[in-house]
Amino acid sequence: MTGPRTPSDRVDVCIVGSGPAGAVTAAALAERGHEVIVLEAGPRFDFADRQHRMERHLRPAHGWTDVWDMGGPRDAYTSSGPVDYPLNTTRVKGVGGTTLHWLGLTPRFHEKDFEMESRYGLATDWPIAYDDLRPYYAEAETQMGVAGAEDNPFAPPREESFPMERFPPSYSDSLFAEACEELDIAVHSVPQARNSEPYDGRSACQGWGTCAPVCPSGAKYDATVHVRKAEQAGTRVIDRAPVQRLEHDSEGERVEAAVYATPDGTEHRQEARQFVVACGGIETPRLLLLSQSETYPDGLANSSGAVGRYLMEHAFAGTNGLLLERTEQHETGFITSESHQFYDHEDSTPGSVKLEFFNYAGPSPLDIALGDGRWGTDLLEAVDFEFGNRLQIGALVEQLPDPTNRVTLDTDETDDHGNPVPDVSWGVGNHAIAAMEHAQEIQRRILTTMGARVTGQTDVHDPGPARHPMGTTRMGTDPAESVVDTRLRTHDLENLSIASSSVFPTGGAMNPTLTIVTLALKAVEHIDADL
């Protein structure tokens, strides 16, 4: 329930953003006895409305961004790069953040993802190794509730079993697996933050099939789980309180306050001993750039010039096929089988590929009717031919950090508070293109072996992003080349930490949310020690 939006007296920790990083950080620090306040730009959504939001998603009159009320002056942005970046499909502004619409896959990064320069002479190494994060990965899986199995021969080492049993493979998975066995391609289960059994007070998956963009049952983890835990431990969460800027002391060594606006247009200053920015890969650098001052004319914590630079994404490579027999596959809503066989590569190129076998049945009858204008008998014949025998294989691929891929401020367009909007400039790069071509060659071989006809492939020069922005406030040991250190604390300000995919020096080809939460749990220990 929303309370007053006036600031608290000086608190221990002020967190900007209530997505997975912000919510987990808030809960962990509050449970350690610290006074915490969270400032969230978007509203608090009523859980009871989720079924209505699911229905909105299913109806043709509404688009993806309508489900969680994205768009308009509040969410204005520009995209000036060589590939259009659909920012408002990557994020949700509201309590719970982008986990409200995420798919829920939670693989760990592989060891090679932390060692790109030392292994391949590419990009840069992380200043921490996989082994440094192993205990935090295990804790993140427990905190979120991850269902999985130790059947992936390519997964990085682990000591603990998954908190829940895996989801079983679908029927179409068995068809893919048969062809992959013939091609000596290993297929295995997918770890995901989705309850395969009742867990942490939430039900098992109910099978609605609309996981992205909305889970009506709450069986899929989202950050409101930790928002509730944070509030139970005494955290105060203020929604519809977008932070306009961070203000620092006269020496430029500490942040003193987060200035936020309320729906009536009033600005307030929230003071704290420690600050954590957890706004995701785009809004985090934007807030730092908006917080420029005489001491930091290029943006707060930006003495390196790296704030906003090195934007990475996971370009999606897909291949569709038509099988001349019924798969009888239903829209499960999530992926139950993958292959990481092409992830840990020996040569520098092509880069990592994570194959994903989609539980895809084909276009819905409504999509067929709206697309072709067919009704009655014609529609029934079309549905009989086009639904239930479609196949889709996808892949996430590795993109290298490039300083020209970046987030800047577009001073020609402003949001509802008069601030310059973020401009996203994103291109794919030859390394990712080579990985996508490699992925599609594998996908084509699998479908051909199944006896399917390939009906289409992603344009590797103009792919869609997987909605995983990373790298824009990168971690490193050299303050001249990075924004935060191994503690996730900014080099420039001693009480400002960043918990976000924006700190990733490289992005691999694994879904990032588990690693985001893992790093947040690591940062909590350092912030707690400082307090």
pLDDT of residue 461: 95
For residues 396-407, give the mean pLDDT: 98
Pair type for strands 147-148 and 164-165: parallel
7-108+208-314+402-426+468-531: CATH architecture: 3-Layer(bba) Sandwich (3.50)
Catalytically annotated residue among 248, 340, 431, 468: 468
Tally: H helices and E strands in the chain: 12, 17
User: Does 52 participate in catalysis according to the annotation?
Assistant: no
- 168-190+316-397+429-464 sits in which CATH class? alpha beta
Whether 168-190+316-397+429-464 and 7-108+208-314+402-426+468-531 are alike in CATH topology: the answer is no
Residue 42 DSSP symbol: S
pLDDT top residue among 410 and 362? 410
Report pLDDT digits (tens) over 131-183: 999 999 999 999 999 999 999 999 999 999 999 999 999 988 999 999 999 99
Residue 367's pLDDT band (cuts 50, 70, 90): low
Q: Would you say 79 and 280 are in contact if contact means Cβ atoms under 8 Å apart?
A: no
Q: Would you say 116 and 506 are in contact if contact means Cβ atoms under 8 Å apart?
A: yes
121: tokens are 């002479």
Q: Is the pLDDT of residue 429 over 70?
A: yes
pLDDT of residue 390: 84
pLDDT of residue 504: 98
Please give the Cα distance from 465 to 473 (Å, whole number): 19
Residue 57's pLDDT band (cuts 50, 70, 90): confident
Q: Is the pLDDT of residue 451 over 60?
A: yes
pLDDT of residue 508: 97
Residue 364's pLDDT band (cuts 50, 70, 90): low
Using alpha carbons, select from 296, 318, 298, 302 the residue that is nearest to residue 252.
Answer: 296
- Please name the residues in contact with 425: beta carbons below 8 A apart, sequence gap of 6 or more: 79, 80, 81, 85, 311, 404, 405, 406, 407, 408
Q: Is the pLDDT of residue 329 over 90?
A: no
Residue 424's pLDDT band (cuts 50, 70, 90): very high
Q: Is the pLDDT of residue 224 over 60?
A: yes
pLDDT of residue 325: 78
What is the chain's Cα-based Rg? 23
CA 24 to chain centre: 15
pLDDT of residue 389: 80
* Domain boundaries defined on the chain: 7-108+208-314+402-426+468-531, 168-190+316-397+429-464
